[in-house]
Structure 1
Amino acid sequence: MPKLPKLTGRRKLSKEEQHPGPPNGYALLPWLLLGLGSFSNLINGKTSNPWIGGIGLLAFNSLYISIAFRAFVKEKRTSRTTLYLLGAMAGITYGLAIAYGDVWLLYFPLLSLAVGTSLRDRRLGITLVVLAGSAGWLASMEGDSPWEPWTLGYTTFITGAVTAALMALSETVVELRSTRQELARIAVEKERLRFSRDLHDLLGHTLSVIVVKSEAARRLAPRDIDAALAQVADIESVGRQALTEIREAVTGYRDASLAQELERAESALLAAGIEPVVRQSGPPLEPQTAALLGWVVREAATNAIRHSKASRCEITVDGSSERVRLMITDDGRGVGSDAPGSGLKGLTERLAAAGGSLTTGPGPRKGFRLVAVLPVEPANTSAESAEMEPRA
């Protein structure tokens, strides 16, 4: 059976998907307009030592722009370099505010905005409180209005807090989109695995039965045409049933009923010249448990027909109130006990996912033995256990 192509992994997010909020640092640059008042003071000569003020203004703006663009790349935002840039920016802000006051105090909200784009967790809250308090205290030193310190302090704090919230929301949206894509990829991968397993189990068993019955029809045709025609009719029935099962597998509603699979296994084993002996005991099983065991019966019967060269195959279903055990033993050559094929590997994974187990190995005397165990709750607790009797 050809292998399905592998998925290439997680799709790389586009720039728009990575940044559903502000796309980059350009969205933060208009806030620099808060510094126009200080720039106007420099031009109009209202500031002493204008060269120092100009250098400080240029350095502040350069640091702000650098931090604004680093904030949208997580590796850069969380690096030590960003912390150093924020420290330098804070030093310039305090120096300009202490030296000039007035409109130069508006650089505190800008510094708070830069802090909000870069810091997270506890450091963010502590830093914003310190900045807001410093801005309010320096504004109170001006003494122009009793409300100005409170206004500036509140503006400084709320600017950083809102910026941090928006940035965190943007990052959360990116993570949610990435998680959604990963979940979609996993769902597709699981569906491909389910379909490949179902297709392997369905076609492997069905084609084996068709081949065995075709050989039987060819052997019977020269001496018993009626028996040969009966085998041909069985081949037609198996083919029609296979078409139905493949359609069910494609839509995801395929369930291998244990009772049906036991009957099919008996018919296929008889056609292959293998004597089937089926024993079943215990209370009725839940549909899901019966379906899983049906898959095991189908795969084991197919392997026995293909590889065992056995003359006898025993299938025993032994159930209790806590678990059910399916044991299939043949007296063949035991091929496959050391290296189970992909069908048995797939069944092992299915049973393990349901809390059960599947073990294979040599039989007690010779041949091959398969044991499947599943936890089970009876569908009808009042049902009495059927006595263990051979069906054939």
Structure 2
Amino acid sequence: MTSTAAGESAQWTRMPTTKTFVPFLLVNIHDTIAVLTGGMPLPWLGGLGELAFVALYLATVSAALDEDRRDTRTPRLLLAALAVVTYALAVGYWDHWQMCFPLLSLATGVVLRRDPRLIALTLALLGITYGIMASLRGGHDTTGTIVAAGWGTGLAGMLVANLLNLVESNAALRATREQLAHAAVERERLRFSRDLHDLLGHTLSVMVVKAQAVRRLGPRDLDAALSQAADIEAVGRQALTEIREAVTGYRESSLATELDNARSLLEASGITAEISHSGPPLPPQSGALLGWVVREGVTNVVRHSGAAHCAIEVRGEQDRVHLEITDDGVGPSAAPEADRPRPKTGGNGLKGLAERLATAGGSLTSGPSGRHGFRLVAELPVDEEGSVAQATSRQGRSAHRLR
């Protein structure tokens, strides 16, 4: 049943083609037979007029349905020529070719469907003139005849115009829905890849540092080495939990937790840590966002800096919070564990954080500090409800969930 409904929905998004309007030409079949059998005066002239009408009718509809030509002058010029031929046949033969008016009305609806005022005026004039001609042709000038003939003629064009507008609107809505679905998937992929980068980059760095500590301490201090090994196990378990949370889109980082983790990681790496946190309590969403900054910044210090000292300062104000991470590193030459050059202005992780902060109205800047070292600064506005950072935390939740 779902596939049937989807098929019907797709039909209402497919624009009719010129072939759709060809069967309507059969309304003139009686006059066509009269041309072939000589049942009208000057049948050769009537035949030429019919050929001209059919050619103009098909050309008008085709041009009006063509995306490249529908907004040019061509469809309206062809429609004007079709109207001339229609009135010429109807007036010249009088008792024949009267059904050309409904066809002219259909073509008018196709051409002028995007101009409600003009199509209403045109179809009204067409209906009135055809109604008058029908009344005079019947030999009695009655209002009923004019209204009946005129209303039927004008209604044909109006129905076609509304139907085409409905199909075009449905097609536009369908295309917009598909674009939104693709955008949601892309946002979810970006969130997932960014979270995995932040999570795995930090976790693997911690495990490498702890493993190196085990190797150094093993020969001389077995208890300390076992303690570091236990930390590796705890970090691995925590990483599994965080990855599950990242997959479901509910991963949140705590600033206080990340500051504690940063101190532990820096000290295990032989880097002196100086951490200060001042100011009023932060809303959970703002703290979570800054927690990501601390995690990424400290991971970069451990992996790339070769620093002996790292300072982390969190300074909160009533409506804004300032986070700064600085180190005295000299680059990868002093850090044997570094596997790639130290970024000068920020790698992929910092770019992702900059996007998150920008979404929340904040900013992230990074670059060299003095002759050596590196400086990372995050600024984030904070209101009483912490609403500025909610967009970041909900970024993955509103998209398609990965299971």
Please give the TM-score of this superposition, normalised by the length of structure 1. 0.87
Equivalent in the alignment of 1:232: 229
Equivalent in the alignment of 2:358: 352
List gaps (5 residues or longer) in structure 1: 1-13, 381-392
CA deviation after TM superposition for structure 1 residue 272, in Å: 0.2
Q: Which amino acid aligns with 1:135?
A: Y
8 Å Cα contact 1:195/1:250 also seen in 2: yes
Q: SS of 2:148's equivalent?
A: helix
Equivalent in the alignment of 1:5: none
Q: Is 1:67 the counterpart of 2:53 in the alignment?
A: no
Q: Which amino acid aligns with 2:290?
A: L
Equivalent in the alignment of 1:7: none
CA deviation after TM superposition for structure 1 residue 44, in Å: 5.4
Equivalent in the alignment of 1:316: 313
Distance 1:163 1:74 in 2: 17
Out of 132, 138, 160, which is 2:133 matched to?
138
Equivalent in the alignment of 2:399: none
List gaps (5 residues or longer) in structure 2: 1-6, 333-341, 387-403
8 Å Cα contact 2:15/2:168 also seen in 1: no
Equivalent in the alignment of 2:296: 299
Distance 1:379 1:112 in 2: 61
Q: Is 1:24 the counterpart of 2:38 in the alignment?
A: no
Q: Which amino acid aligns with 2:224?
A: A
Equivalent in the alignment of 1:94: 87
Q: 1:35 to 1:18 in 2, by over 3 A?
A: same
Identity percentage over the alignment?
Answer: 53
What is the total number of aligned residue pairs between the two structures? 366
CA deviation after TM superposition for structure 1 residue 277, in Å: 1.4
Equivalent in the alignment of 1:77: 70
Equivalent in the alignment of 1:109: 102
8 Å Cα contact 2:345/2:367 also seen in 1: no
Equivalent in the alignment of 1:387: none
Q: SS of 2:312's equivalent?
A: strand
CA deviation after TM superposition for structure 1 residue 216, in Å: 0.9
Q: Is 1:290 the counterpart of 2:269 in the alignment?
A: no
Alignment of 1:120-139 (within 5 A): 120-121=114-115, 122-139=117-134
Distance 1:361 1:131 in 2: 73
CA deviation after TM superposition for structure 1 residue 350, in Å: 0.8
Equivalent in the alignment of 2:51: 58
Q: Is 1:276 the counterpart of 2:269 in the alignment?
A: no
Please identify, of 80-89 and 302-311, the stretch whose mean Cα deviation from structure 2 is larger: 80-89
Q: Is 1:367 the counterpart of 2:373 in the alignment?
A: yes
CA deviation after TM superposition for structure 1 residue 366, in Å: 4.1
Distance 2:371 2:71 in 1: 67
8 Å Cα contact 1:300/1:370 also seen in 2: yes
8 Å Cα contact 1:359/1:371 also seen in 2: yes
Equivalent in the alignment of 1:258: 255
8 Å Cα contact 1:20/1:173 also seen in 2: yes
Please give the TM-score of this superposition, normalised by the length of structure 2. 0.85
Q: Is 1:196 the counterpart of 2:193 in the alignment?
A: yes
Q: Which amino acid aligns with 2:105?
A: S
CA deviation after TM superposition for structure 1 residue 38, in Å: 2.4
Please identify, of 333-342 and 276-285, the stretch whose mean Cα deviation from structure 2 is larger: 333-342
Distance 1:150 1:343 in 2: 73
8 Å Cα contact 1:323/1:376 also seen in 2: yes
Equivalent in the alignment of 2:344: 338
Q: Which amino acid aligns with 1:171?
A: E
Q: SS of 2:365's equivalent?
A: strand
Q: Which amino acid aligns with 2:147?
A: W
Distance 2:40 2:278 in 1: 99
